[in-house]
Amino acid sequence: MNKHKMITEKGVPSNSRVLMLFGQLEKLNRESMLVDPEIARQITAKILHLIQTQEKTRKEIVSKGSSGMEVILATLENTQDLQSILNILYILNELLTVGGGRRIGVFVSKGGTGILLQLVISASKESPPSEEVMLQLHSVLAKVGPKDRKFGVKARLNGALNVTVNLLKQNLQNHKLLLPCLLVLQVYSSNTVNAVSLGKNGVVELMFKIIGPYSKKNTSLLKVSLDTLGALLKSKTNAQRAVVHVPVLLYIYQDWHRNDTRHRHILIRKGILGCLKNITNIKLGRKAFIDADGMRILYNTSTECLPVRTLDPLINTSSLIMRKCFPKNRLPLPTIKSVFHHQLLHVPAGGPVAQLYNQPLGRGPIYQFYTKPPWVDDVVDESDNNEDAEAENDMENEVEEKDHHVGNDDIETDINKLRPKETQSRPFEELKIYERFFMELSEDFQVFNFDNPKKGVTATPAAPKSHRPIIVPTAQTLPPKNPTAAPLQGECPHPAPVPALDLDTINITKDQDGCGDHTHSRPHPGAGLEQELVQGLERVALDGAGPQVGGGGGGNKHKRQPPILAGCVAARLGGEGEMLAEDWAEEEESSEEGVLHVPDTALLLPLHDPNLYVEMVKSTSSVPQFSEVAYPDYFGHVAPTSREHILERVYGVQRTKIFQDIERLIHPKDILDKVVYDLDIQSCPVVDGGESLKFNSQFESGNLRKAVQVRKFEYDLVLNSDINSNHYHQWFYFEVSGMRVGAPYRFNIINCEKSNSQFNYGMQVLMYSVQEAISGRPRWVRTGTDICYYKNHFSRSSIAAGGQKGKSYYTMTFSMTFNHKDDVCYFAYHYPYTYSTLKMHLQKLEALRNPQTYLREDVLCETLGGNSCPLLTITAMPESTSNDQICQFRNRPMVFLSSRVHPGETNASWVMKGTLEFLMGSSPLAHSLREAYIFKIVPMLNPDGVVNGNHRCSLSGEDLNRQWQNPSPELHPTIYHTKSLLQYLAAIQRAPLVFCDYHGHSRKKNVFMYGCSLKETVWETSISATSCELHEDLGYRTLPKILSQMAPAFSMASCSFVVERSKEATARVVVWREIGVQRSYTMESTLCGCDQGKYKGLQIGTRELEEMGAQFCVALLRLKRLTSPLKLRNHAHLLDVDSDLMETRCKVSSTPSRYLLEDEEASFMEEVDYSAESGDEPDNDPNTADPHDNHLSDSESNNHRDSLT
């Protein structure tokens, strides 16, 4: 006999006994088993003995290069001897039990699965089938199945599926055989087609014959049965079959809960909940669960489990089921459209705005401009209640059986679209009208007095302030004869300087209900109201006018009223009776003059002036015609000196909040459901007894639509949609008063839309206390405890969800304890920065400029709402009128900056404030920077959105940062004219060296940049391109690299330079592609805080944001040195950068930038046990990507698992 040669791994002797036995077995296989079968029995028995007694033998068989597994499978396939088959099955069970992962992989790769399944068919034809063979076969299959991706397909195609089912039905009392059959059935069910087929064969009903109430016997069998049933019920068809068994499952769960007092069978209890979870995925299942009193049962059992930490898996799954079955409610609104409406003179032919104008009419006079029939409900429509039946296809799903590699379909793959355009899209004659905004390029300064610059600064023609908007001829119409007739072509009214109002003339108005219907209370004798006025005011009329009378939601139907300070303290202390307007003057003459104590913040806030702010408010136009000024905007904000750490997440906080929500359904009598603030109602309900908080949002940038008191200290808050829109709920800014000291208030913002938020990762809301402000601490502070963000039971209409059905809103909840009696507090999503604040800052900056600074403020255009869009030009004055100086002045490279295209991203304005203050500063660095560049700055691209409290859109109802490709001068004037400025610069060969649009990011930490790179975009795709096609200057990475080295909040790791299709109409991509600016960026600043660098673990504040704006300026100066080192040789001592620290062209790292998928806001996934608490399951959203996919970082995956299902 020739001994078979076998290659074994190093260290294992090749002449071992088991190898000899395999050689003999292989020889028998070649002889087709014609010899006595007793020989095969003996050989296989000896191999089995060696495997059972020697671990080394197992390693030899499955070692790399060994043919032992092939010999075993060949013998199993060829032999007909029952004992030999059993011996081999015993061998396989031994081999695959220990170290199964790699060994099973070897077994599958050798074709072992098919051989076993064929043996199942052969054994089933025996009469009767051998019980031991079936037992061992299914034991091996149960181990192999989970590792073979095509296991279910193979079993269905060769008929083994039905064999296992029949075996199961015939052996319900044979627990020994039942267990491996159930394990195999569980693997079969992982294939959707198999699960449907098994359901048709009655396997679902069969499972309910196996499972039962509490018993100490056969617990392993029960556990496997529940897991198998759970796998079957993932099919909606099977779930429908199991709906009738929901009461049985609830009874069984209660029984196990009562009797498993030592918690030894948690897996069985979890298995029962798993079955309920899958059944309740369908509408019929949820109804059956509610009808069987499932909410109360799971709520009570979960409450009893709370003290035991090891039972958290049961609590989480129960919570998931209850949230899912909680009846879907409509938002407590008459319509999802904004309370306020701005009539557009030009309605686009298509898109969301056109759809909105064709939607049904809302309730009330404010909806008079809409044209849809009043019987259509846009809050919850029929599509939300219809559930599409699952299409169960018995045909093979090829996609399911193939390896999936999640890719980004949004990445641009057309190389031609990744190249800058070589031709201008507009003729130069059309762009020449923008020459007036670039006077510095032709100014000769002949009339400027350089000998006495202070005298000539205000008179220099180089820095005039333009008050006229630009005239824009269009292709459809001839140039108008009367420019003032068209909205975008007339005179832009610029407010004349108004003397600051003396606070001594301030009159006091007292608002009793704080809801917008302003009634005035006469002080009760002895009440001491006048003595309390130094602590705050109820309503302060800034022009001495009488009290305002008007509703809270009347929007544009009410006559504009003078600004009055919003919110206060004194009148909320008490008072009876009413005061008429004609009685007001008499009262003022006889009463003691009220004095508003304004904190003296002039030294700390050089750019803030309360009186000047009020004057700016008077010239600001708003759709609701706001007549109030919020205290924080009036007093100003001084950044706190102490650091505000990212809030550590309390374990179980989300679960606790959800259980409190579930209690609303279980104990409905405890719910007040009392409306205390509502902009949809002309006059808010009068709150009696002082048992409720008072709310207000009727001031610039304010956003709160409705407040409902649900419990004594708990309020549901509803945000207003962006004007001319039916969604975008994220920004909030509102006033609260009438609080009790020490009471644990809970606030729930119930109509959030994003699937995740930094509120889950340590971000806190901002609060401004008037009591603190008048005590000398005027500042916004991070506050709130028990903060979390989760999916709620309020359903989103498919109208608002872009046609998607079954979507829900999210709740952002926080708890708050107030420290001051009769305080007035303001809450905001982020540090507010209003349009009036910008105008005040610009006026103060102009007053503070030095003679060496060239500053010109132009009015770029007028917005749809009648507000002016400022355009700033900042550079250094030339040292003289010599040709060299004037030439150097005119030829300075351009830097173009913009900000606040999204109103809710207020942090962008704070960064811009830091940039402007640095540019206008007197430091040597600032002077060098002004000498190096000409800055063109549009500090607020969306004034209307900011003024009216929008989060994302302008008054056109559109995201302006998606209009850059083809902006409309009628609908998007600020974008149209800003792009025109850039096109003009490109036409005269003066395209900016750097373009940067400042933004805020709601779901990532740190500050970072998005840029544009042909090469890095191609790297992220599967397209092939030659090196010539990918030739690209890598200078686009220089500026972010500089920032990462000097700005502590900046993170280079978070930057991305990939171009996505969904971003092709954004400023960054259009300026890069159409204007040809290589360094075209979006700079994103976190709304939360930092997880790296100097500020790691801290929430970001205005000080850090302004510092970021200043650091950006310094980085530009360093960029100038790197691109033109000889130009700034005289200022090298100011730069403090080692020459070897940065190269002009930074090398691209070996790891390409990761890309983003959604909007400008990628989802964020951190090391927080978020999914464990909520019992998350991946949702079925096709846009959802696995956050752990190798192609996406955690912080940049398109969508993490939904926090609630």
- Tokens 């809301």 -> residue: 765
Number of helices and strands in the chain (H, E): 42, 22
Question: In Å, what is the CA distance from 1076 to each residue of 903, 989, 1073, 1112?
Answer: 28, 10, 6, 22
Task: Find out whether 691 and 743 touch, Cβ atoms under 8 Å.
Answer: no
- Helix runs in 638-795, H state only: 653-666, 770-774
- Tokens 């919570």 -> residue: 319
d(CA 1049, CA 1096): 8
Bond prior to 1048 in cis (omega within 30° of 0): no
d(CA 79, CA 33): 7
**Amino acid type, 697:** S
Please compute Rg for the chain using Cα positions. Answer: 36
Looking at residue 829, the DSSP 8-state letter turns out to be S
Q: At 310, phi and psi to the nearest 5?
A: -70, -15
Q: What is the dihedral of CA 94, 98, 100, 103, to 10 degrees?
A: -70
Q: Which of 440, 532, 615, 1084 is catalytic?
A: 1084
d(CA 45, CA 593): 108
Going by C-alpha positions, the residue among 874, 1020, 1007 that lies closest to residue 935 is 874
Q: At 351, phi and psi to the nearest 5?
A: 100, 180
Two structure tokens written together for 1176: 């998350």
3-state secondary structure of 98: coil
- Is 1084 annotated as catalytic? yes
Two structure tokens written together for 1167: 């090391």
- DSSP secondary structure letters along 973-1012: HHHHHHHHHHHHHHHTT---SEEEEEEEESS--SEEEE--
3-state secondary structure of 559: coil
**Angle formed at CA 247 by CA 246 and CA 250, multiple of 5 degrees:** 90
CA torsion sign for 439, 440, 444, 445 is positive
d(CA 278, CA 242): 10
> How much helix, strand and coil, in percent to the nearest 5, is found in the chain?
40, 10, 45
Going by C-alpha positions, the residue among 917, 937, 640 that lies closest to residue 767 is 640
Order of all β-strands in the sheet with 765-769: 694-696, 733-737, 824-828, 765-769, 780-783
Q: At 563, phi and psi to the nearest 5?
A: -65, 140
Task: Find out whether 859 and 768 touch, Cβ atoms under 8 Å.
Answer: no
Q: At a CB cut-off of 8 Å and minimum separation 6, what does 232 contact?
A: 189, 195, 198, 199, 203, 204, 207, 238
- DSSP secondary structure letters along 781-818: EEE-EEEEEEEEEEEPPTTTTTT-SS-EEEEEEEEE-B
Residue 970 CB-half CA count within 13 A: 10
Task: Find out whether 269 and 225 touch, Cβ atoms under 8 Å.
Answer: no
3-state secondary structure of 373: coil
Two structure tokens written together for 156: 């269905």
**Angle formed at CA 245 by CA 239 and CA 249, multiple of 5 degrees:** 105
User: How far from chain centre, in Å, is Cα 718?
Assistant: 18
Give 861's strand partners: 869
d(CA 396, CA 391): 13
Q: Which residues are catalytic?
A: 1084
